[in-house]
Structure 1
């Protein structure tokens, strides 16, 4: 795997409180990001260990969350985080299987010609590479996003009427919301930059959303986890990240097409997401590895609708996960990366440069 220089990120200390004052979110995000760098970064590989035990490198899905974290950090503190982000992008080549017929990211570091690629893992990377491209306009990120999305879309077939499989070898025999939701978001984000392919990408996003709605959406607007292709059985169980990415896909379709039905559906999912809240605390019940995606969806929907409950719900959850992190710091990398990512995004929601970035990122020039 690629060797990179060790990059030291300063650890910023902070006092745990119940609610952050404006502009404190970035300080807290730096604190958590510094903790990750100190405790999980592997200088030899350039990527991150799964736990503080340093017994193995983390899987690529979890690496994608850390990449999203550094992408947000590089917007707010470019002098500090731009070089680590660039080095990390290069180091992730250790997971890239360029020898496969349709290249993509393997779950674990690979020598090539592997067969353990998950379509959802790759879809998460498409989304964060495109955000990184919006952040620094490095064409390598756009190129890799395009290459990776080609792998993601290769997972679509017409069994049970369509849908993208979870795994390239059809492990578990299912087509999952967690693969289809982010695949649709990736299509719509890529369409902003690949103008020649934009009509086809928008149409594919329509098809993915329509299939996922018909196959996995419950009557309340939220989404079940997966469908068994051989039997048609729906594996029940609603997780925040599934509904969050379908909310974002509907918002993306609204921006790309101007069709108000997609905005109405995004709003319906957003309102239905109260189901995920603990009635006593008002906090998302899911583990942060899932719920931080719903926080991100809350902020995106808030930018589109200005409905105060969305910002309040996101802020309440971000404050709580930071407070819990201070009280009981997790020993896995991904949990801290999710928390840091949410903190950076909350910081941007309260600053003019952050708001300006997302106003531009949310635009779709038709």
Structure 2
């Protein structure tokens, strides 16, 4: 269990409304701490060192949900290194249970593995690449950089020329589709790793991101700017259905290309797509309709777009989502681990948006070179 201040003490901070709390610059950090402690107390599995799926399913969650928790702890460790860094380090090691080193191109399996698995998802691995590289910004831990590089090699092995390119969803071509959720985060991972590589390797990663973005826009972007879910390779049919996380990662990939190349059309397109994101808002609450496991990525994209443009409408959209989701959580905490982790991640990022140290971290992280 987490040590330090008790949950009971933290709860005393949250007796006023969500709107009133938002006026306090320290409120988001306190909320983030409260939710993170709740997750650890409620879902942590000491036997595996990972987190259980839900209140009723006590097995360790799938790796992509663990990846959301990883992103939460990465942000938490920036806020309070003494308290959260040891927990994060143990957790990264616990995720080795999902890593399969016994295959030609190693990668993370969806569940704990003994090796020689063939059930890997390219998007699962991409999420972990992004979080490991975000932590490397602060930790400079060589093992994290190496693991992110290896996992990205697996992700990029999912690219082939069927449909003219694109990354499959699953290594055995389950469902026979190439998905936005595997291509968007792959492009983001390429661009983030390129910051820590030199010369030809960095240039190759940026060019790969450019190819991925171009393919995804050509095959899965609707005329309104938002992105559909997947394309069936055998027929070319686009499976309609727009989710926040698909559009969010493409916004971040476009912003990353702009930062890496200085080519303004990427920024212009990112802003167009981000503006179209109003389509996802619920008219009653002003927050995203999607479940937190998807919508938290769009909040990250809002904050990313705000940093790139200074346009406060994206910051305010992120703030509205954070406040609405936290209000729901206070009324009744989410029953599944990943929804709680998604909320805590949002809250840590909102806290960083209100502190100079947090803004400085993201200024460095957004730079084309470290």
Q: What TM-score range do you get, normalising by the shorter chain?
A: over 0.9
For the residues of structure 1 that align with 2:150 and 2:3, how far apart are their CA atoms?
A: 31
SS of the residue corresponding to residue 18 of structure 2 reads coil
The match for 2:340 among 326, 336, 341 is 336
Contact 1:295 1:342 in 2 (8 A): yes
Instruction: After TM superposition, give the deviation of residue 330 of structure 1 in Å.
Output: 1.2
Quote the residue 1:3 is aligned against.
Answer: none
C-alpha offsets along residues 52-100 of structure 1, whole Å, 9 cap, x if unaligned?
A: 2353110000000000000000000000000000000001000000001
**Under a length normalisation based on structure 1, what TM-score does the superposition of the two structures give?**
0.97
Is 1:120 matched with 2:140?
no
Contact preservation (8 Å) 2:2, 2:41: no
Secondary structure at the residue paired with 1:206?
helix
Preserved CA contact (<8 Å) 1:22 1:350? yes
- Check if 1:349 corresponds to 2:353: yes
Q: Distance in 2 between matches of 1:195 and 1:247?
A: 25
Gaps of 5+ in 1: 1-5
- C-alpha displacement of 1:8: 4.2
Q: 1:156 & 1:66 partners in 2: Cα distance?
A: 27
Task: Show CA shifts across 1:144-183 (max 9, x none).
Answer: 0000000000000000100000000000100000000000
1:361 paired to 2:365:
yes
Q: Of 177, 180, 199, which residue of structure 2 is paired with 1:177?
A: 180
Determine which of 74, 80, 85 is the counterpart of 2:83.
Answer: 80
From 236, 244, 248, give the equivalent of 2:248: 244
Unpaired runs of 5+ residues, structure 2, are none
1:278 Cα deviation after fit: 1.3
Distance in 1 (alpha carbons) for counterparts of 2:58 and 2:76 = 27
State the match for 1:17 in structure 2: 17
Deviating beyond 3 angstroms after TM superposition, the runs of 4 or more aligned structure 1 residues are 6-10
Query: Partners in 2 of 1:86 and 1:39 — Cα distance?
Result: 20
Q: State the shift of 1:281 in Å.
A: 2.2
Q: Give 1:290 deviation, angstroms.
A: 0.6
CA drift of 1:329 comes to 1.0
Q: CA RMSD in A?
A: 1.1
**1:203 paired residue number:** 207
| Distance across 2 between alignment mates of 1:79 and 1:257 | 37
- Aligned counterpart in structure 1 of residue 29 of structure 2, from 10, 26, 29: 26
Residues 47 and 92, structure 1, Cα contact 8 Å, conserved in 2: yes
Instruction: Count residues in correspondence.
Output: 361
Q: Is the aligned partner of 1:95 residue 2:95?
A: no
Q: Which residue of 1 aligns with 2:68?
A: 65
Shift of 1:42: 0.6
Contact 1:192 1:198 in 2 (8 A): yes
The offset of 1:279, in angstroms, is: 2.0
- Cα deviation, residue 7, structure 1: 4.9
User: For residues 23 and 359 of structure 1, what CA distance do their matches in structure 2 show?
Assistant: 21
Q: Distance in 1 between matches of 2:116 and 2:2?
A: 31
Taking structure 2 as the reference length, what is the TM-score of the superposition? 0.96
CA contact (8 A) 1:251 1:266 kept: yes
